[in-house]
Amino acid sequence: MCGIIGYVGTEDAVPIIVEGLKKLEYRGYDSAGVAICQKDGFAVVKQEGRLNALEARLAERPIAGHMGIGHTRWATHGEPSDANSHPHVGSRNMIAVVHNGIIENYRQLKEFLEKKGVPFISQTDSEVVAQLCEYYYSGDIMEAVIKVVNRLEGSYALGIMCLEEPDTLVAVKKDNPLIIGVSGHGQFIASDVPAVLKHTNKVYYLNDKEIAMLRKGDVRFFNFDKEPLQKPVETVTWNIDSAEKGGWPHFMLKEIMEQPRILRDTINSAAGGGNGTVIGRLDVARFNKIVLTACGSAYNAGMVARYVFERLCRLPVEVELASEFRYRDTVIDAKTLVILISQSGETADTIAAMREAKSKEATTLAIVNVVGSTIAKEADECLFTAAGPEIAVATTKAFSAQLVLLYCLAVRFGARLGKLAEKEEREMLAEIDGLPDKAAKVLEQIDAIQKYASACVVYKSIFFIGRNIDYAIALEGSLKLKEISYIHSEAYAGGELKHGTISLVEEETLVVAIANCERLYGKIMSNAEQVISRGAKVLLIGNCPYAEQNGKLSGIRLPECADLFSPSLSVIVLQLFAYYVAANKGLDIDKPRNLAKSVTVE
């Protein structure tokens, strides 16, 4: 969590930093701050609250300079407050630091420094980095930084300025993302590409345990042994417009509406140069088991994919939360394919699951949206979703891109294994190819979905049910609703209702039922009847035929679609439903309370 940015160049750093922080606010938004290196000291402005509170403070107390660092925080150690906000400056006012990550041994380091008489003013783990750097500084910032990192345990992306070296910005990365942008007027550090896209699409991706020394005209890279490194500059293909709201009230709505295009782009990129591209070098015959592992919505994408892989590849498939997988003594080996799903490619638990799988000699295949991310770099194989930058904290388009890429992978995998005849493979791919147009048709029902959702703000609890693959996508519908609307919600397999949950159903409970599996229509409809007879209302999403029941049963009809791929259509209704419930409650949809987009801590 947390977003960091830094700039050194010929322009005024403050507006560049504030603008960049706006693009990183999805990473944390409980406080923010800026430090500028000036001749006689650091000018620091920090403010608890959203970024606009920092902007207001900066308007009251303008600061300026050509080198600076900024931070937007998601608190881990120490409550959100001005004192705990970054940047942190050492007690001798010599070093200023922004940090994303967690310094696990900060207590020991703090004790060590306090014994030497260093006073601390915050409760954060991050302040020790600034204080320790001052402690070690004796005329060479790089020397001091290397001494510091050799004592740090944990994860960190750092931006560091030293008053005595006012033309040098230092960046360090270990287990948290950090990119370096280079432009005609100056150099940048940032947690994510959108923060610098306005100025440049030329970036370097720092690897773990690398240091970058940025000056106005150049960037140099070193490892922790101070040896120089050569790194390739890369060109980002993301477009600046995709990181702007472009007239939409929220990024989430914009990103939902972009989905037909994102599906098309992802399908095209999966098709690549021809048959089987998405399989790449995978020796599919080698595997006797597939494990899908991820967190949150990405885990739900894995839940959907399980049904698809099982049906098309006829292999045992397990789905596991990455946070559980990493600590279980899982039975996997060199014959297991572990598929990691992650939008950011930086989720701490998913990274740990990947490393665990590699240590057991499984092959790791990542489905990732962010090029240059840790998972993209470390997995044995990586497939990229073509979702572009996703800004809203609640994922929508990246989730849809994950689903469609997993479908393509499963079809090619099954065909390569000989489990799908050529004709079946062609038919499946044609079905997938039709999804973007069908998604556009679903979006045409936006008004009906909005109208239904607007009346749902009154519910205290909403249940989602489905059977088979519809159950898997019900999990995502429920997660989406609770994270942005703060309405309690749970998803159940339809068949589980009568094993306990139905006791919660009473007058005016809302049950959202998803029904796309033809052979199970009858069963899900009888679940709907059971809850209606206990006073509930039902919203039916799918292509199951139904008759409206005077206010008790309403429906959103989806285009015909093979049941295996129908989650791509259901999810659009579920996203819009969640969005409009939250919008009608007047909530901060793009930045739900307590959440951050990229969960880089456990």
Q: What are phi and psi of 254, to 5 degrees?
A: -60, -45
Which of 2, 162, 456, 517 is flagged as catalytic?
2
Out of 36, 295, 510, 517, point to the residue binding ligand F6R (CB under 6 A).
Answer: 295
**Only segment of 14-22, 64-72, 128-136, 290-298 that touches ligand F6R (CB under 6 A):** 290-298
Active site residue 597: yes
Strand partners, 100: 157
Query: What is the total residue count of the chain?
Result: 602
* Residue 583 interacting with ligand F6R (CB under 6 A): no
Selected catalytic residue, list 110, 254, 480, 597:
597
Give the nearer residue to ligand F6R in terms of CB position, either 47 or 293.
Answer: 293
* Tokens coding 444: 């045409």
Closest contact distance (angstroms) between CB of 597 and ligand F6R is: 6
Q: Comparing C-alpha atoms, which of 130, 563, 531, 83 is closest to residue 539?
A: 531
Decide whether 394 or 439 has the Cβ nearer to ligand F6R: 394
What does the alpha-carbon distance between residue 277 and residue 262 come to, in Å, rounded to a whole number? Answer: 19
Positions in 390-449 near ligand F6R (CB under 6 A): 394-395
| Residue 292, beta-bridge partner list | 319, 339
- How far is the C-alpha of 476 from the C-alpha of 481, rounded, in Å? 9
Is there binding between residue 124 and ligand F6R (CB under 6 A)? no
The alpha carbon of residue 1 and the mean position of all alpha carbons in its chain are separated, in whole angstroms, by 10
Q: Which residue lies nearer to ligand F6R by CB, 113 or 383?
A: 383
Instruction: Tell which one of 165, 425, 483, 563 touches ligand F6R (CB under 6 A).
Output: 483
For residue 274, which amino acid is it?
G
**Residue 517 and residue 438: Cα distance in Å, rounded?**
17
Q: Supply the minimum distance, in Å, between the C-beta of residue 162 and ligand F6R.
A: 33
Rounded Cα distance between 350 and 324, Å, is: 10
* Three-state SS at 4: strand
With b for 16 or more beta-carbon neighbours within 10 A and e for fewer, the 529-566 pattern comes to ebbbeeebbbbbbbbbebeeeeeebebbbbeebbbbbb
Q: Which helix (H) or strand (E) holds 416?
A: helix 397-416
Closest residue to ligand F6R: CB criterion: 296
Q: What mask, x for binding ligand F6R by CB under 6 A, covers residues 146 to 175?
A: ------------------------------
Contact between 535 and 508 (Cβ < 8 Å): yes
CB of 551 to ligand F6R, least distance (A): 31
Query: CB-wise, 169 or 484, nearer to ligand F6R?
Result: 484
Helical (H) or strand (E) element with 435: helix 435-443
Nearer to ligand F6R, 155 or 395 (CB): 395
Interface residue with ligand F6R among 178, 298, 383, 481 (CB under 6 A) is 298
Cα separation of 375 and 392, whole Å? 21
CA dihedral sign of residues 112, 117, 118, 120: positive
Span 32-71, contacts to ligand F6R by CB under 6 A: none
Radius of gyration of the chain (CA): 25
Q: Nearest distance from residue 285's CB to ligand F6R, in Å? A: 29
327-356 positions binding ligand F6R, by CB under 6 A: 342-344, 347, 350
Give 347 or 489: the residue with its C-beta nearer to ligand F6R.
347
Q: CA–CA separation, 241 vs 396, rounded Å?
A: 18
Distance CA 214, CA 225 (A): 18
Instruction: Give the residue with the Cβ less far from ligand F6R, 517 or 574.
Output: 574
> Considering CB under 6 A, how many residues would be counted as binding ligand F6R?
14
Please say which residue, 306 or 537, places its beta carbon nearer to ligand F6R: 306
Q: How far is the CB of 387 from ligand F6R (least distance, A)?
A: 10
Q: Cβ of residue 350: shortest distance to ligand F6R, in angstroms?
A: 5
296 binds ligand F6R (CB under 6 A): yes
Residue listed under structure tokens 């599919």: 284
Count of CB atoms within 10 A of residue 54's CB?
24
Nearer to ligand F6R by C-beta: 122 or 344?
Answer: 344
| Residue 364 found at the interface with ligand F6R (CB under 6 A) | no
Angstrom distance (rounded) from CA 509 to CA 537: 6
Nearest Cα residue to 484 out of 552, 372, 392, 400: 392
CB-based burial of residue 285 (10 Å sphere; 0-12 exposed, 13-18 middle, 19+ buried)? exposed
Binding site for ligand F6R (CB under 6 A): 295-298, 342-344, 347, 350, 394-395, 483, 598-599
Q: Which residues are catalytic?
A: 2, 597
